[in-house]
A and B are shown apart, each in its own frame.
Chain A
Amino acid sequence: MPVRLKKTEMPRQAPEIRRKNFKEVALGYSVEDAVKEAQRCLQCKNPQCVKGCPVGVKIPEFIKLIAEKDFYGAARKIKETNSLPAICGRVCPQEEQCEKYCILAKKGEPVAIGRLERFAADWEREKGIEKPEKPQKLGKKVAVIGSGPAGLTAAGDLAKLGYDVTVFEAFHEAGGVLVYGIPEFRLPKAIVKQEVEYIKSLGVDLKTNHVIGKVLTIDELFEMGYEAVFIGSGAGLPKFMGIPGENLNGVYSANEFLTRTNLMKAYNFPETDTPIKVGRKVAVVGGGNVAMDSARCAIRLGAEEVYIVYRRSEEEMPARLEEVENAKEEGIIFKLLTNPVKILGNDEGWVKGIECIKMELGEPDESGRRRPVPIKGSEYVIDVDTVIIAIGTSPNPLIPRTTPGLNTQKWGGIVADEETGKTSKEGVYAGGDIVTGAATVILAMGAGKKAAAAIHEYLQKK
């Protein structure tokens, strides 16, 4: 039987329904779908897909187990190298990683590796996760700062090796960007919670409400007996554009808008206590995944019209294609080659519009993308009452400022070795957005993984 060229479709909530709720959009494979899709895998002797995975998931092996209907086995196989499969199966940009290298992609569509990973993880979760065996304790303490993807991965790997790991989280809930940033409809919080529980079941001690750099410094952690520290504190500070009107009422950073919506569950207001103001018409400035998440939250919160305002064309958009498609299906209006120059306010200081200028693409810039150039005299106003700025974040300086001997880049990121996460300060490792600037969940996980291995090596020698 020839191999089917198309991926097995995954059912999704219809756009007109899902734009009114916060439930997950993609519904996941059934057992039949999963087995059918798994059978497409050619089981290459020299699998290229694995090379595209930052954490080296044993892809052909787990897919073979799904094809053989050993779903527990498949989940366990993934977890050998990836502690957070239900999350990765949902939010990894597989099209640029594992699936990009799938041999089937040369002729048709690659194997739906991400969907299969999600299936195996969900199957295990629904049937009940087996309690992992507690490893032999080494009697050494390691501190992990931040409970986002980098921190959770490092903590999980170190705990499996036998270290006494404590994770310090600044927020009241663990998960970092997985809980404050990525919306419920893309990554249900119950799943994050369960993955966090799994990490805790490995013996990791989780301390929420601890802002490191304030309540404790890194040097104090060493004094408390921690022998190594991993910093995975993320890229937390929102960037603004520096245009007039950004402090008007009704202007949000994407961080604030998403945190109110996701972490504080403002979509349940007034059942929950944190409010949000979405307005009738919303402009989201930016073209990344965070911009798509903000726009799709706004429409679900009841906005009538939501615009994405992006200064380049669709081709240059950093958001995943899938998310752009989802946003379009949900009725988000794309204003491309459009750059805001001013936010306009009414007499009471509330947003009433956003003045934009049209752009055209010029020569490529240092990022390789064609530079957008303003078209003179093309200014026009879009009537909106809310503006969400989603143009990126920069690292939070709380830790670098309070840690003597920790070197940082000019832009604020911590200087760390790419392969080991080693920083300029002995015993201190770092990874994820605090090192790279805003990137993806899986890259942060990869960094956490490498750092855990390097910390193990360091502590064995010590």
Chain B
Amino acid sequence: MFKILKRKDLADTIKLFEIEAPLVAKKAKPGQFVILRIKEGGERIPLTIADYDGEKGSVTVIFQEVGKTTKDLGKLNEGDFISDFIGPLGTPVEFPHHKRVLAIGGGVGVAPLYPKVKMLHNQGAEVISIIGAKTADMLILEEEMKAVSDQLFICTDDGTKGHHGFVTDVLKDILSKDTEFDEVIAIGPPIMMKIVANITRPYKIPTMVSLNPIMIDGTGMCGGCRVTVGGETKFACVDGPAFDGHLVDFDELMRRQTMYKSEEQKSLALAEERGEHKCRLD
């Protein structure tokens, strides 16, 4: 059993949990993820590691309530326990020689972006960051990102904060004046990562994305997370989750993510019928 040490509501549907997991915390590196299961009968879901503290023995995850499992998770409080917490999984990312990086985070994707930016910042690299959300209330980790970025741009789809529009607008704007980046890191909804990769491709700036396909075990066993990268099938859980954005088949990724759409609705409907969840549209 794994204890929730801290809960922080970053937005109405976005929660931060700091979870006691000393062994995972000791080994975790930027770019890695965990798989958790709340209780018996529950689903195993992957969540990217947003932060970790080896000394304290804790791992921070940030999630958005979308399906039944994340909604169940969102109902837990400090002091509660979750049954299973497995990690650190996936291949860590390293940028040993990077001097200048452009980091882009969309929605809850800012969470996995943060540890990478923090690592780059601590290594002395210059980082320009762009973070965005649908609306100001859903923008996360603004202060944290500011602390580790040399420049921080903010965007909201509805214009309630910062630039009125998408992170990709700001990206285009920056690249039109300045293309001296060792890497562009983009983490967010697949469509955002796809557009970022399309924008950076003509400039030939290496572009790293982090993928979040459906998976079960996270150790290479089920193959559910397979993605096509440069024409080859890769398992995101062991070969990734970070890949070269210029080589990823994003359309296939987006299609595969919809595989259980109707089942997810069924599961939520049953939970609502039983009064476990309140529909937010009511």
Contact = CB atoms under 8 A, between A and B. Distances in A.
Contact of A172 (B37, B69, B87, B88): B37
B186 interface: no
Contacts of A275: 260, 263-264, 266-267
Interface string A145-175: 0000000000000000000000000111000
A201 B86 CA distance: 25
Contacts of A255: 221-223
B158 interface: no
Contacts of A364: none
A274 B259 CA distance: 13
A209 B84 CA distance: 7
Interface size range of chain A in the complex = 35 or more
B88 A214 contact: yes
B42 interface: yes
Contact of A398 (B42, B220, B267): B220
Q: Which of B83, B217, B228 has the most CB of A within 10 A?
A: B217
B135 interface: no
Contact of B267 (A208, A236, A270): A270
A172 B267 contact: no
A252 B216 CA distance: 12
Contact of B221 (A247, A249, A259): A259
Contacts of A260: 216, 222
A274 B24 contact: no
Secondary structure call for the A interface: loop
Contact of A265 (B41, B216, B258): B41
B219 A396 contact: yes
Interface string A179-216: 01000000000000000000000000000111100111
B252 interface: yes
A379 interface: no
A249 B233 contact: no
Contacts of A170: 86, 217, 219
Contact of A264 (B216, B221, B238): B216
B83 A172 contact: yes
Interface residues of B, number: 42
B166 to A, nearest CB: 26
A144 B226 CA distance: 30
Nearest to B263: A275
A460 interface: no
Nearest to A250: B259
In this complex, the member of A171, A246, A259, A397 whose beta carbon has the largest number of chain B beta carbons within 10 angstroms is A171
Given A216-B23, A236-B219, A259-B221, A273 B69 contact: yes
Nearest to A249: B259
B259 A240 contact: no
Given A215-B88, A273-B68, A238 B216 contact: no
Contacts of B15: none
Given A215-B88, A236-B220, A273 B24 contact: no
B221 A274 contact: no
Given A265-B41, A275-B264, A211 B222 contact: no
B228 A247 contact: yes
A238 B41 contact: no
A171 B83 CA distance: 12
A223 to B, nearest CB: 13
A348 interface: yes
B116 interface: no
A133 interface: no
B216 A211 contact: no
A277 B44 CA distance: 17
A118 to B, nearest CB: 28
Contacts of A211: 86-87, 89, 218-219
B89 A253 contact: no
Given A249-B256, A249-B259, A269-B263, A256 B222 contact: yes
A396 B221 contact: yes
A404 interface: no
A246 B220 contact: no
Nearest to A394: B220
B224 A277 contact: no
Interface string A261-273: 0001100111111
B84 A238 contact: no
A237 interface: yes
A98 B216 CA distance: 37
Given A172-B83, A216-B23, A259-B216, A240 B255 contact: no
Contact of B266 (A208, A268, A270, A396): A270
A247 B89 contact: no
Contacts of B228: 247
A349 B217 CA distance: 24
A256 B266 CA distance: 21
Nearest to B257: A249
Contacts of B219: 170, 211, 214, 236, 396, 398
B222 A259 contact: yes
Contact of B84 (A172, A237, A398): A172
B146 interface: no
Interface in A370-409: 396-398
24 contacts: A170-B86, A170-B219, A172-B84, A209-B84, A211-B218, A211-B219, A214-B27, A214-B87, A236-B221, A238-B221, A253-B224, A256-B223, A264-B43, A269-B263, A271-B41, A273-B41, A273-B43, A273-B267, A275-B260, A275-B266, A277-B259, A348-B255, A397-B220, A398-B220
Given A214-B89, A215-B27, A275-B267, 15 more contacts: A172-B86, A214-B27, A215-B24, A236-B221, A237-B221, A240-B223, A247-B252, A249-B256, A253-B222, A256-B223, A260-B222, A269-B263, A269-B266, A269-B267, A398-B238
- Report the 9 A-B pairs with minimum CB-CB distance, sorted nearest first: A275-B263, A256-B222, A273-B43, A253-B223, A172-B84, A349-B255, A236-B221, A238-B223, A272-B41
